Structure 1
Amino acid sequence: MAFDGTTVAAVTKELTEQLSGGRIAKIAQPETDELLFTIKTPQGQKRLYISASASLPLIYLTNVNKPSPMNAPNFCMLLRKHIGNGRITRITQPGLERIIQIQIEHLDDLGDLCQKTLVVEIMGKHSNIIFCDADGRIIDSIKHISAQMSSVREVLPGRPYFIPDTMGKKNPLTVDADTFIFTLKEKPCPLGKAIYTSFTGISPVIAEDICFLAGMDSGITPKEYEDDLLFHLYRQFSYYIEDVKAGNFHPVIYTDGETPKEFSALLLSHFDTFTKQEYDSISEVLHIYYATKNTLTRIRQKSADLRHVVQTALERARKKYDLQKKQLKDTENREKYKVYGELINTYGYNLAPGTKELTALNYYTGKEITIPLDPVKTPQENSQKYFARYNKQKRTFEALSKLLTETGDDIHYLESISNALDIARSEADLAQIKEELIESGYVRRKYTKKKVKLKNKPMHYISSDGYHIYVGKNNLQNDELTFSFANGGDWWFHAKGAPGSHVIVKTNGDELPDRTFEEAGRLAAYYSKSRGSDKVEIDYVEKKHVKKPNGARPGFVVYYTNYSLMIDSDISNIKAVQD
């Protein structure tokens, strides 16, 4: 979700409610493109975080403090000089632009009351924090933009501040129906794109939602619609804008399982298939969404080397498996050669020298068959040739059958590690997976041969009926969970025929309710390669019936009697416990 004009409007409303009248107690610049204000208000102390990062520009209220450098940067010192102990008088958003203007009054060196404005532009790679005087002239900015860097606007001390209009977009807060319809019809692109490229502050997700609520296909060009349908679209657009004007915001995060999918300041109807979590504060939404996203991104980056190792090994194993299957198929006719040899011994005693074939009754089937012969060989030599071919293919079949099973086990094992990497949520998870790869011989241990002892807890949930459910994060943890942690009477769950986590439900000697069985099944489905499927088959059995064969790889178990259930992989309503 883009940090669009709607989100900025929600942030502006929240900042106005929380910070108006507050005094700036501290100003810090933790990073080159970040500011952190500590503001004293009648409701208590607040912290305002502002980032002009090109990759992740943000502005929201936070409880998190960040360490500052020993020597404050020049921009930070300038702000401290001018607006330290200043009072926030007004916070506004021009139109539906991605801009927040914070007006501050303070006393100058002579004791006179002065006005300053801190302009926060949340515009992707063009984001900036600009400090202006009462006349709208730039005093300084966190990023200097010269004429060589931008032909649209210079952002330098002494230059006048203005909002650049590079896209020619119209203000959605004031547009009327005729202008709305005319503007869209001028666009040759699909309807959804026409909306967000024509009006300021509207993101692609919001444009898609407006089309969805109007019951119109966002992929069709506006010219293909009649004016009455476009007027109907305008009415839906107006309802949306009225909510923005009135400040009727509903901060929300949509998740796909545990992965945040989108956030929004208003509800998104076309995202109803995802799990919805509403919040009272847009700042809380931004903090949770980006913190979770950053964690997942960081873990994804840190696991790249391990993923490469696993993927390379998987590709080799799959190629080997396909080759072995092809070679095994070539041995399917081995029994035929054995029969040929036997029939030549039985009927070939009266063959004339130089005979090229033998037609004889196959006493196994009762039908006549024709056997090719080498005319330069005797019947006995032909028979020995076929027996030799049979024995060779028999040995090949036996060897390949064993190798095929081993290669299949390798593939299944590597897929289970791939699944463990998919569900890893911390560096400790990755360290345990790396240790498993070292023990399995896929990664070489560096510097020492001593086994690394890692402390890492399984995932912990509580069912709706109050039973504790534990989910292994990787194969080593699956073994520990199943064979060290679980009791014989606890229930064990696993996705059938798919790599995945072992799931243990602690029964405490009770008979489990059906709802707990279903929730444990959902967890087993979600933490498997079948995650996202509407129906996943789950095997479940009392733990005492789960065995580990001697010499088996981590995570591999056998069981011979089990129950099964079909379940989806939606775990949004299962309570997670942070141990």
Structure 2
Amino acid sequence: MALDGIVMANLAAEMKDRLEGGKIAKIAQPEKDELLFTIKNQKNTWRLLISASASLPLIYFTEANKQSPMTAPNFCMLLRKHIGNGRIIRVSQPGLERIICMEVEHFDELGDKRTKKLIIEIMGKHSNIIFCNEEDMILDSIKHISAQVSSIREVLPGRTYFIPQTMEKKDPLTITEEEFINVIGQTAAPIQKALYMKLTGISPIMGHELCNLASIDGDRSANGMTELELIHLYHMFSFIMDDVKHGHFTPNIIYKKEEPVEFSALPLTCYQGEGYVSQCFDSISTLLENYYASKNTITRIRQKSVDLRKIVQTALERNYKKYDLQAKQLKDTDKRDKYKVYGELINTYGYELTGGEKQLVCLNYYTNEEITIPMDDQLSAKENAQKYFDKYNKLKRTFEAVTGQIAETKQEIDHLESVSTALDIALMEEDLVQIKEELMEYGYIKHRRSSDKKPKITSRPFHYVSSDGFHIYVGKNNYQNEELTFKVASGNDWWFHAKGIPGSHVIVKTEGKELPDRAFEEAGALAAYYSKGRENDKVEVDYIQKKQIKKVAGSAPGFVIYHTNYSMVAEPKVLLEECK
């Protein structure tokens, strides 16, 4: 998930296409290690964001504008002075380094034409933006690196700029087959690691991808490979480098369960199958903006949902313990019918007793077997019978009370587990607002003061359109499930739900038409995916027409009763693109 040399090559090609010949209209420095350029080229206006942040260095085109400080920092002022109205004459990348150089032509105070270089180094915590003259003398940089910080290279005004050492790495764009075999084949590290250790701009994921393309175990030692295997690996490597040289890029993001896990400027076959989905983009900048926006949203949602998850988990643990205790109490009442039989048999055979007996041996006319009944020798037969009837009645009352309590506890557990599943499904802050409202309504969170404004809820169910044109709606939480099933759905619409586990209500609007098999499969896959079983390979899904769904009186929102013989086994996945 880093900007490797190949992604940088894609960015350099995009910048070259959009910026060469363009005029710099505006330079801003929104953050201490970030620049935002506005460049006009022919009829287009481009915003280029460059960040040298140690935690998230980036460079991409964006449509978003960022507010700048009232007083521009010194580095920004220097850039404005020299290249504020300059023309970008060249964008280049040295080899496959994670470096892009923008050469800008401008006029100095005397009206003479000059060239300056803005060098963007995207190298993790060592990232920097360096401003040089045409002789590569550093004029300034967004980060100053002294000899005390780095013994390898100083980045200070007046010093000569040079590319930092890369431990004698080879340029992937120029390396020959013989050099490749010698360099890689003599490395003791695993082959996928050797590739990014010895070749400039190759990332770990690309090392893994190369091994996958060559059908080689990436964990094998590089120096243990045969020459034939290394030649085959070089051929796969050459195919990829040819794409880079000719600008044949395919920017794509790899998703798993709707979460972005990786991005690349080239296809990644190592992520095919196993629940991974690839989305391609026309622009590497659009990819990066989407990727980091998605990651940021998911991170923010997880942080904001921590407190809600804790509340739900605490309530669940309390109810699990309560349920176990009630189940034990219920099991203890299993003896009640035995005590009733004891009392009846004592009343039947008590006339045979003379008093003082410690047991009664008689025929149990319910089973036609001999039975031995313990007796209290201090009590009469009638008193012993009453003692057993009292035990029976006490346990019967306990059974009836605990049975009701267990049903209530089970209902509360089901409700809380459904809320937990809704938290897993939540993708936006608005989704969390509805979940919080539900927890407040049911007393898990203290109600806000009446003077406080109730937040406006804008979260909406997921909306898909099947391959055959049928609209499909998926509830994100219990409130939405309730609304979809009892307000949105009509009698002949189809309702889907994962069998026996918490999950979303999925509604397919039929508009009076008969659903094709494919629509059932697509809706079933959605019901499986938006459920507690989403991590399983397969999930059983019930489906039934809405008119056969009944609301459970007094139950939490989204809880229904139904009887159906229709079910399917579905793979939890989203087969359709969401309607925005």
Please give the TM-score of this superposition, normalised by the length of structure 2. 0.92
CA drift of 1:421 comes to 1.6
* Aligned counterpart, 1:76: 76
Cα separation, partners in 2 of 1:360 and 1:34, compared to 1, 3 Å = same
CA drift of 1:403 comes to 2.0
SS in 2 for 1:303: helix
| Counterpart amino acid of residue 405 in structure 1 | A
Give me the whole-angstrom Cα distance separating, in 2, the residues matched to 1:185 and 1:384.
92
Q: Residues 166-201 of structure 1, C-alpha deviation per residue, up to 9 Å, x if partnerless? A: 655443334444554454455554332333233322
* Aligned counterpart, 1:212: 212
Cα separation, partners in 2 of 1:330 and 1:220, compared to 1, 3 Å = farther
Give me the whole-angstrom Cα distance separating, in 1, the residues matched to 2:409 and 2:259.
33
Q: In 2, are the aligned partners of 1:463 and 1:575 still within 8 Å (CA)?
A: no
Cα separation, partners in 2 of 1:404 and 1:571, compared to 1, 3 Å = same
Which consecutive aligned stretches of 4+ in structure 1 deviate over 6 angstroms post-superposition?
none
CA drift of 1:12 comes to 0.9
* Aligned counterpart, 2:364: 362
| Counterpart amino acid of residue 249 in structure 2 | F
Give me the whole-angstrom Cα distance separating, in 1, the residues matched to 2:321 and 2:155.
58
* Aligned counterpart, 2:562: 559
Cα separation, partners in 2 of 1:107 and 1:561, compared to 1, 3 Å = same
State percent identity of aligned pairs.
60
Report the RMSD for the aligned CA atoms in angstroms.
2.6
Give me the whole-angstrom Cα distance separating, in 2, the residues matched to 1:111 and 1:449.
66
CA drift of 1:215 comes to 1.2
SS in 1 for 2:325: helix
* Aligned counterpart, 2:132: 132
SS in 1 for 2:45: strand
* Aligned counterpart, 1:299: 301
SS in 1 for 2:132: strand
* Aligned counterpart, 2:118: 118
Give me the whole-angstrom Cα distance separating, in 1, the residues matched to 2:46 and 2:424.
37
* Aligned counterpart, 1:252: 252
CA drift of 1:39 comes to 1.1
Q: Residues 214-255 of structure 1, C-alpha deviation per residue, up to 9 Å, x if partnerless? A: 112223333443343233323322322232233221111222
Q: In 1, are the aligned partners of 2:497 and 2:503 still within 8 Å (CA)?
A: yes
Structure 2 residue 45 is matched with structure 1 residue 45: yes
Give me the whole-angstrom Cα distance separating, in 2, the residues matched to 1:233 and 1:405.
63
Q: 1:420 aligns with which of 413, 422, 425?
A: 422
Give me the whole-angstrom Cα distance separating, in 2, the residues matched to 1:198 and 1:392.
80
Cα separation, partners in 2 of 1:147 and 1:412, compared to 1, 3 Å = farther
Give me the whole-angstrom Cα distance separating, in 1, the residues matched to 2:386 and 2:190.
75
Q: In 2, are the aligned partners of 1:144 and 1:156 still within 8 Å (CA)?
A: yes
Give me the whole-angstrom Cα distance separating, in 1, the residues matched to 2:267 and 2:466.
28
Structure 2 residue 5 is matched with structure 1 residue 23: no
Give me the whole-angstrom Cα distance separating, in 2, the residues matched to 1:153 and 1:344.
101
| Pairing 1:156-555 to 2, within 5 Å after superposition | 156-165=156-165, 167=167, 169-184=169-184, 187-273=187-273, 274-347=276-349, 357-373=359-375, 383-448=385-450, 452=454, 454-555=457-558
SS in 1 for 2:77: helix
Give me the whole-angstrom Cα distance separating, in 1, the residues matched to 2:189 and 2:353.
84
Range that drifts further, 339-348 or 9-18: 339-348
| Counterpart amino acid of residue 467 in structure 1 | F
Cα separation, partners in 2 of 1:81 and 1:359, compared to 1, 3 Å = same
Q: Residues 134-161 of structure 1, C-alpha deviation per residue, up to 9 Å, x if partnerless? A: 2222221222233443444333222332
Give me the whole-angstrom Cα distance separating, in 1, the residues matched to 2:311 and 2:360.
56
Q: In 2, are the aligned partners of 1:6 and 1:96 still within 8 Å (CA)?
A: yes
Range that drifts further, 424-433 or 143-152: 143-152
| Counterpart amino acid of residue 481 in structure 1 | L
| Counterpart amino acid of residue 132 in structure 1 | C
CA drift of 1:265 comes to 0.5
Cα separation, partners in 2 of 1:532 and 1:376, compared to 1, 3 Å = same
SS in 2 for 1:331: helix
Give me the whole-angstrom Cα distance separating, in 1, the residues matched to 2:408 and 2:44.
65
Q: In 1, are the aligned partners of 2:144 and 2:155 still within 8 Å (CA)?
A: yes
Q: In 2, are the aligned partners of 1:10 and 1:249 still within 8 Å (CA)?
A: yes
CA drift of 1:348 comes to 5.8
Please give the TM-score of this superposition, normalised by the length of structure 1. 0.92
Give me the whole-angstrom Cα distance separating, in 1, the residues matched to 2:158 and 2:360.
106
Q: What number of residue pairs does the alignment pair up?
A: 577
* Aligned counterpart, 2:149: 149
CA drift of 1:350 comes to 5.2
Give me the whole-angstrom Cα distance separating, in 1, the residues matched to 2:323 and 2:153.
62
CA drift of 1:393 comes to 3.3
Structure 1 unmatched runs, 5+:
none
Q: In 1, are the aligned partners of 2:185 and 2:230 still within 8 Å (CA)?
A: no
SS in 1 for 2:30: coil
Give me the whole-angstrom Cα distance separating, in 2, the residues matched to 1:413 and 1:152.
61
